[in-house]
Amino acid sequence: MARAERNFLRPSSGTVIQRFNGGNSKGVDFAGSEGDPVIAARDGKVVYSAVGPRGYGQLVMIKHDAVFVTAYAHNSKLLVKEGQSVRKGQVIAHMGRTEAERVKLHFELRRNGNAVDPVPYFAAD
C-alpha cells in the first residue's frame, strides 16, 4: 500500500471490539459511550447522512476522492448534512446504538466500492 494512502485518522478513540474479517464484519467496531464524538477520518464530502440500510442505524458516509469512501454507523446524532464538505478530525456525529446491541461506532472503509480492512490505512501515531 502506498504510504500516501495511510492518512486516515481513527474515527474514535475507543477500543476496537470487532475487527474486519471480510465476511460478516465489513469494517471495525469501536467501543464507546452514548454521545462520544465520531470524527471524519479524512477531508471529504458528505454523500449520505440519514438512517442507513438495515443494520446500520443512523449513518454518515463521506466520499474522500475517486477511490475512497468511509461509513460511520449506529450514531445517536448526526451533525453533518449531505453535500457538506468536512475536514479531517471534524466531529460529524455522536456515538450511539441505533440498530446495534450496544453503543459502538461501526466504521467501514471502501476502496473502489469494496470494503477493505481500515486498520492499515490509519496514520501511524
Quick: pLDDT tens for 11-31. 999 999 999 998 889 999 999
- H-run or E-run covering 33: none
Phi, psi of 45 (to 5 degrees): -125, 135
The span from the CA of 124 to the CA of 8, in Å, is 9
Predicted model pTM: 0.94
Instruction: Provide DSSP, 45-100.
Output: EEEEEEE-STT--EEEEEE-SSSEEEEEEEEEEE---TT-EE-TT-EEEEEB-TTS
The pLDDT tens digits of the residues spanning 53-94 come to 899 999 999 999 999 999 999 999 999 999 999 999 999 999
